């Protein structure tokens, strides 16, 4: 219940400041995730690919209505010259009219999406890390893919979309930060190095959306991730 969620004081932002174009996209997505929550809470669409498709359509529709300078590409290739290139769930690129600022064929912002809740036990930590499959490690963890520069290789900023399908925002922040604690001490194995900076810092929270920030180390430097969560769990509509 929302009434049971303790008051949390947002943490101050640390690390490099995001530029105005990045913050325009983050603010836009956060705003329209609230609309997505209204439309898709309790929907029969539970799978990640289906939710991604519907979210991409909604974001692009509002981007046109609001005459935004950016558009969203679903399953955006990291390297269009390679047929086997990794694909991030959403690439954000500038419309041609603003091509003097960016190469419109390249994304200036990348977003990866994961479900929080209603996943198999073997996949519950995929928001952060991958898993063993047929004796091999599968690099399917959302945050881990940014840390390893599989996604957003040349970017300073990215985002994780979290589809909350069970429990509440506080539960998932506490759970994910707990997994990070275990990763830091090696209780959970990973291909990446983890630290306290990987934990989620609350920036804003409503009944339907939550926004967090983390600074995630890479082999060379770091990437700032905004964690944009949308509540799709029907119980939140009661309060």
Q: For the chain, how many structural domains are there in total?
A: 1
Residues 206, 102: Cα–Cα separation, whole Å: 33
Q: What is the pLDDT of residue 191?
A: 84
pLDDT band at residue 75, thresholds of 50, 70 and 90? confident
Q: What is the mean pLDDT of the chain?
A: 86
Residues 62, 68: Cα–Cα separation, whole Å: 8
Question: In this model, does residue 44 exceed pLDDT 50?
Answer: yes
Q: What is the pLDDT of residue 62?
A: 97
Q: What is the pTM of this model?
A: 0.86
Torsion angle of alpha carbons 167, 73, 214, 195, nearest 10°?
A: 100
Question: Which two structure tokens, joined as six digits, stand for 12?
Answer: 């101050």
Q: What is the pLDDT of residues 6-37, one digit of tens each?
A: 444 444 444 456 689 999 999 999 999 999 99
Residues 222, 237: Cα–Cα separation, whole Å: 37
Question: Which two structure tokens, joined as six digits, stand for 142?
Answer: 């959302």
Per DSSP, the residues of the chain read: -GGGSPP-PPPPP-SSPPPHHHHHHHHHHHHHHHHHHHHHTT-S--SHHHHHHHHHHHHHHHHHHTT-SEEEEEEEES-TT-TT--EEEEEEEE-GGGTTTS-TTS-SEEEEEEEESS--GGGTTTTT--EEETTEEE---HHHHHHTTSSSTT-SEEEEEEEE-SS-HHHHHHHHHHHHHHHHHTSS--SS---GGGS-EEEEE-SSEEEEEEEEE-SSSEEEEEEEEEE--GGGGG-
Q: What is the pLDDT of residue 16?
A: 52
Q: Taking residues 46-61, what's their average pLDDT?
A: 97
pLDDT band at residue 220, thresholds of 50, 70 and 90? confident
User: Which has more pLDDT, 216 or 189?
Assistant: 216
Q: Taking residues 48-75, what's their average pLDDT?
A: 96
Question: In this model, does residue 208 exceed pLDDT 50?
Answer: yes
Residues 187, 193: Cα–Cα separation, whole Å: 12
- Rounded percentage of the chain residues whose pLDDT exceeds 90: 65
Q: Taking residues 50-59, what's their average pLDDT?
A: 97
Q: What is the CA radius of gyration of the chain?
A: 17
Q: What is the pLDDT of residues 101-116, one digit of tens each?
A: 544 567 899 999 999 9
Q: Which domain holds residue 27?
A: 2-238
């Amino acid at each position: 219940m929302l009434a049971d969620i303790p008051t949390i004081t947002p943490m101050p932002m640390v690390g490099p400041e995001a530029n105005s174009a990045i913050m325009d996209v983050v603010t836009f997505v956060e705003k329209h995730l609230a609309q997505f929550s209204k439309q898709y809470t309790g929907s029969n669409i539970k799978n990640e690919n289906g939710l991604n498709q519907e979210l991409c359509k909604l974001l692009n529709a509002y981007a046109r209505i609001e005459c935004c300078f950016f558009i969203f590409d679903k399953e955006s290739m990291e390297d269009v010259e390679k047929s086997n290139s990794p694909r991030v769930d959403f690439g954000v690129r500038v419309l041609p009219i603003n091509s003097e600022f960016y190469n419109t064929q390249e994304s200036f912002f990348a977003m990866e999406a994961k479900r929080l809740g209603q996943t198999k036990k073997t996949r519950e930590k995929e928001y952060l890390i991958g898993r063993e499959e047929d004796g091999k490690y599968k690099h399917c963890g959302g945050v881990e893919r940014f840390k390893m520069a599989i996604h957003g290789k040349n970017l300073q900023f990215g985002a994780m979309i979290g589809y909350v399908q069970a429990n509440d925002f506080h539960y998932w922040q506490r759970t994910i930060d707990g997994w990070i604690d275990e990763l830091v001490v090696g209780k959970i194995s990973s291909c990446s190095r983890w630290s306290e900076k990987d934990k989620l810092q609350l920036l804003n929270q409503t009944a339907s959306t939550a926004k967090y920030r983390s600074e995630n180390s890479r082999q060379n430097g770091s990437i700032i991730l905004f964690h944009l969560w949308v509540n799709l769990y029907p119980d939140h509509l009661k309060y």
